[in-house]
Amino acid sequence: MDINSILHIIAENTLRTGLPLPAPRDIAYHWAKPLNLPRSGSMFLYTGVMYQLMPYIKSFVAILERFEDSRLAKALRLAASPKLTGLARAAIKPERDEIELAESILTSIARLLARAGINYAYLYEDDMYTGVILYDMGLEEAFQEHAARVYERLRRRGAKKLITVDPHTTYMLRHVYPKYVDGFDIEVVNYLELLDEALAGRAQPAPRLWSGERVVVHDPCLYARALKLVKQPRRLLEHAGLTVLEPRRSGRMTYCCGGPIEALSPRLAGRIASTRLRELREKAPVIVTMCPICFVSFSRVAKNETIVDISIILSKTLRQDEEA
Amino acid sequence: MASLREAALLEAQRCLYCGFCEAVCPTLLYGAHRGYGPRGRVSIALQLLAGKAPVSEEALASIYSCLMCRACTTKCPVSVNVAEIVRIIRILHNRGELLAKSPVRIAVRG
């Protein structure tokens, strides 16, 4: 499929709706409705909508995978662009259980933060996608326009500090926004960093849900190489009572999940994901991810492995701790 | 301040062509040619920046297949920022500032 057409869909959709793919706008904050999180404060939880987009990305990639290298793809390339966007809107059908899973990850994160004694507010309708794919794909003007809108919303809400939950959003807000958005001076902290700090010096919960069960961790590239967030997730998992195993390539030398190009070449992305998954599987059948893109990428090719987001594992431990 | 084009050119010209980066690039293993690895991408970037001839579909596939995972930079003796070079080439391509008319399609081996 012609990459230019896909980039057009993404840029057009982001500027028109704030999201890179056709999806209901309330997907950003639907998960938080039952939690009644405070709306005002100076430190806000900012999800960047990446986890919420997982089911939509998966559905979009499944469509592209069917069309990749097909005659239909060639025909689509010739179609008028607005038709392409409309086609994507009609064709993307996320699975209900995948939406629920994404929401449960965010609920777990919210509960973990509260349990660690961290006071924060939530942005609700101002929790926006950062535009990371526009930035990565070189859609510079569209990214600048979108980033300015995001910052304006944050400024109006009086945000001084943001808690992020995934590597892409953390990287964009911490390292890219200050270069692109005039006056951007919001402090950015990742929830794993916050939890790790809060846990320092605390005794291990007893009784523990886990007693040395073995899991293997997959480091997302941006956490490991750009944000130096490697030790924190391991400490959190070990504190919960799990035995953390390292794949052949881990930490700074981690191996990409293939996800960043799954919208451009699902086939190439799938081959890379399978290679990495095999490497992880050699260590343990339970694979811990910390990034929504990695999660989608491995889920697409997983057979008998269990792919689990770190927040779900940590939150299970929390429930056990609360019940004790 | 250097233009985007100059910034990419300066960064790409730092490449020593040692090839250490190729061992860790996830796309090279499955790509159709060496352009699917970091050394090939830098080489193609230099040609695109020179702007002497229209660029091929395959040259752009090399640029758009990069995961921007930065594994290459960790192995590079002079820490060439291949991801940023690739990103700038994408910007120039999207702005129509490269001599590139082709559609872009990524080819996978096997």
DSSP-based three-state secondary structure for A160: coil
Tell me which residue of A218, A223, A108, A138 sits closest to A174, measured CA to CA: A223
Structure token pair of residue A61: 């990639």
Contact yes or no for B26 and A3 at CB 8 A: no
Contact yes or no for B67 and A253 at CB 8 A: no
Is residue A58 within 8 Å of A92, Cβ to Cβ?
no
Contact yes or no for A136 and B74 at CB 8 A: no
Q: Would you say residue B105 has pLDDT above 80?
A: no
DSSP-based three-state secondary structure for B63: helix
The per-residue DSSP string of A102-141 comes to HHHHHHHHHHHHHHTT---EE-GGG-----HHHHHTT-HH
Residue of B nearest to A134 (CA): B91
CA distance A192 to B18: 37
**Helix (H), strand (E) at residue B62:** helix B57-64
> Which of A2, A71, A267, A268 to mutate to probe the B interface, most B CBs <10 Å?
A268
Q: Would you say residue B100 has pLDDT above 70?
A: no
What pLDDT tens digit does each residue of chain A (324 aa) get?
678 888 888 999 999 999 999 999 899 999 999 999 999 999 999 999 999 999 999 998 888 887 766 655 555 554 445 566 677 777 788 989 999 999 999 999 999 999 999 999 999 999 999 999 999 999 999 999 999 999 999 999 999 999 999 999 999 999 999 999 999 999 999 999 999 999 877 766 655 667 778 999 999 999 999 999 999 999 999 998 999 999 999 999 999 999 999 988 999 999 999 999 999 999 999 999 999 999 999 999 999 899 999 999 999 876 655 655
Closest approach of chain B CAs to the CA of A149, in angstroms? 21
Residue of B nearest to A272 (CA): B26
DSSP tag of B108: B
How confident is the model at residue A79, as a pLDDT? 47
Contact yes or no for B67 and A256 at CB 8 A: yes
CA distance A247 to A225: 16
* Residues 8-67, chain B, touching A (beta carbon < 8 A): 24, 26-27, 29-31, 60, 64-67
Q: Which residue among B65, B71, B94 sits closest to A268, beta carbon to beta carbon?
A: B65
- What class does CATH assign to A203-323? alpha beta
The tens digit of pLDDT for each residue in B34-69 reads: 999 999 999 999 989 987 767 788 888 999 999 999
What fold, for B4-94?
A: Fumarate Reductase Iron-sulfur Protein; Chain B, domain 2 (1.10.1060)
Give the 3-state DSSP-derived string for chain A, with helices as H, strands as E and coil as C. Answer: CCHHHHHHHHHHHHHHHCCCCCCCHHHHCHHHHHHCCCCCCCEEEECCCHHHHHHHHHHHHHHHHHHCCCHHHHHHHHCCHHHHHHHHHHHCCCCHHHHHHHHHHHHHHHHHHHHCCCCCEECHHHCCCCCHHHHHCCCHHHHHHHHHHHHHHHHHCCCCEEEECCHHHHHHHHHHHHHHCCCCCCEEEEHHHHHHHHHCCCCCCCCCCCCCCEEEECCCHHHHHHCCCCHHHHHHHHHCCCEEECCCCCHHHCCCCCHHHCCCCHHHHHHHHHHHHHHHHCCCCEEEECCHHHHHHHHHHCCCCEEEEHHHHHHHHHHHHHHC
> Which of A6, A230, A256 to mutate to probe the B interface, most B CBs <10 Å?
A256
Residues in B closer than 8 angstroms to A255, CB to CB, are: 24, 26, 71
**Helix (H), strand (E) at residue A190:** strand A187-190
Rounded to a whole number of angstroms, the CA Rg of chain B reads 13
**Helix (H), strand (E) at residue A187:** strand A187-190
Closest approach of chain B CAs to the CA of A30, in angstroms? 31
